Amino acid sequence: MTDEPALAPPQTRAFSALRARPTLWAVLPGVVLVVGGLAVFLGVLDGVQEKDDLFELDQPVLEWLVDHRTTGWTAVLAAITFVTGPTVLPLLVLVACVVWRLVRREWWRPVLLAGAMAASTLISLGVKGLVGRERPPEETMFVPGAETTASFPSGHTIGTATFLLVAGYLACSRTPSVARIVAWSVATVLGTALVALSRLYLGYHFLTDVVAAVALAVAVLGLVAVVDRLRQGPPPG
């Protein structure tokens, strides 16, 4: 027998080393989100450029949804796509930020939310310009010719996903609870999925457009988390 203490498992030592460096520990979750979001986005972009992988589902999904349109679903999804478009969504974000500032009497989180929305818009426009992917054919669009900008990624989807992800993070990060986190998670998934579905169903985007948009929104969330936690520090525990 020996009285020497047992060596700590490598994983435990690694986490202990991270916890011993508070700044790195604080930004690690955000960095993981940025890297993960960009990795998925680049994978989807590669498939679009090489015309393989997820790209192979673009046309079948588009055609199936167009063939199965109904009057009720068309009305609902057209309303959703209007509310989350470049005219109404910025107004909703502005109102949310102003109300947050007045009710909570703080400026940091509303500014972060507004900054995230601006960043997602600039990223979307930049990628659209660089990739230059054409929209689906006009005959598949609910309103032919209504969308003339580049298709990749979906601006409606990245805007909605960014808004829900960042607002949820900012609302839950200070006073987290299981109920609040679950509620925001469900709202984010359902809201983003409905907007993405509306863009596909109405014939304005391909499947890869909306998947890439969600991936970029996750990366924006990671960037927000890094900036926020650098300023605030990691939450207790």
170-211 tens-digit pLDDT: 988 878 789 889 999 999 999 999 999 999 999 999 999 999
For residue 99, the surrounding DSSP H or E stretch is helix 89-104
**pLDDT on residue 1:** 47
At residue 113, does pLDDT exceed 80? Answer: yes
Q: How many helices (H) and strands (E) does the chain have?
A: 9, 0
**pLDDT on residue 51:** 92
**pLDDT on residue 90:** 92
> How does the average pLDDT of the chain come out, rounded?
88
CA distance 121 to 88: 14
CB 22 within 8 A of CB 234: yes
Average pLDDT rounded to a whole number, residues 156-180:
91
pTM: 0.87
CB 149 within 8 A of CB 128: yes
Average pLDDT rounded to a whole number, residues 7-33:
65
CB 188 within 8 A of CB 168: yes
224 burial class (0-12, 13-18, 19+ CB within 10 angstroms)? Answer: buried
CA distance 192 to 202: 16
CA distance 225 to 231: 10
For the chain, give every domain's residue range: 27-232
**pLDDT on residue 146:** 80
Angle CA 96–160–195, to nearest 5: 130
At residue 98, does pLDDT exceed 60? Answer: yes
